[in-house]
Amino acid sequence: MAAVCIDRLLETVEKPTRYIGGEYNSVHKGSRDVEIRFAFAFPDVYEIGMSHLGLRILYYLINQREDTWCERVFAPWSDMEEIMRREDIPLFALESRDPVKEFDLIGFTLQYEMSYTNVLNMLNLAGIPQLSRDRGLEHPFVIGGGPCAYNSEPLADFFDFFVLGEGEEVIGAVLDLYKQWKSDGKSRGEFLEMAAGLEGVYVPSLYSVEYNSNGTVKGIAPLNGSYPARIKKVIIEDFDAVYFPDRIIVPYMDIVHDRAILELFRGCTRGCRFCQAGMVYRPVREKKPETLMRQAEKLIESTGYEEISLASLSTSDYTQLSPLVRDMIERFGSQGVGISLPSLRIDSFSLDLINEIQKVRKTGLTFAPEAGTQRLRDVINKGVTEEDLLESVGNAFRCGYSTVKLYFMVGLPTETIGDVKGIKDLAYRVIDRYYEADKQSRGKGLKITVSTSCFVPKPFTPFQWEPQDTMELFNKKQDFLKQELRHRAITYNWHQPETSFLEAVFARGDRRLCKVLLKAWGNGCRFDGWMEHFNFKAWMEAFRECGVDPDFYALRRRDYDEFLPWDHIDIGVSKEFLVSEHKKALEGKTTPHCRDGCVNCGITKVFGGGVCDAIGQS
Instruction: List residues near other proteins by CB under 8 A.
Output: 8, 10-11, 16-17, 20-24, 250, 252-254, 301-306, 335-336, 360-362
Nearer Cβ to other proteins, position 10 or 173? 10
Nearer Cβ to other proteins, position 250 or 579? 250
CB 546 within 8 A of CB 514: no
Q: Is the peptide bond before 283 cis (omega within 30 degrees of 0)?
A: yes
CB 210 within 8 A of CB 217: yes
Tell me the H-state helices in 385-444: 386-398, 417-436
Could you tell me if residue 576 is left (phi over 0), alpha (psi between -120 and 50 degrees) or otherwise beta?
Answer: alpha
Q: Please, what's the b/e burial string for 118-146 (b: 16 or more CB within 10 A of its CB; e: otherwise)?
A: bbbbbbbbbebebebeebeeebbbbbbbb
Nearer Cβ to other proteins, position 359 or 482? 359
- Angstrom distance (rounded) from CA 36 to CA 164: 22
The single-letter code of the amino acid at 292 is L
> Residue 80: which residues within 8 A CB-CB, separation 6 or more?
9, 13, 18, 19
Determine the 3-state secondary structure of 472 from DSSP. Answer: helix
Shortest CB 216 distance to other proteins, Å: 52
Cα distances (angstroms) measured from residue 121 to each of 78, 126, 463, 528: 11, 8, 32, 12
Shortest CB 19 distance to other proteins, Å: 8
Shortest CB 399 distance to other proteins, Å: 15
Nearer Cβ to other proteins, position 250 or 277? 250
- Angstrom distance (rounded) from CA 367 to CA 156: 37
Nearer Cβ to other proteins, position 8 or 444? 8
Shortest CB 465 distance to other proteins, Å: 48
CB 516 within 8 A of CB 465: no
3-state helix, strand, coil in the chain (%, to 5): 45, 15, 45
Shortest CB 298 distance to other proteins, Å: 12
Shortest CB 252 distance to other proteins, Å: 5
Determine the 3-state secondary structure of 365 from DSSP. Answer: strand
Nearer Cβ to other proteins, position 231 or 249? 249
Nearer Cβ to other proteins, position 124 or 302? 302
> 491 φ, ψ to 5°?
-110, 130
Nearer Cβ to other proteins, position 179 or 247? 247
Shortest CB 341 distance to other proteins, Å: 16
Shortest CB 22 distance to other proteins, Å: 5
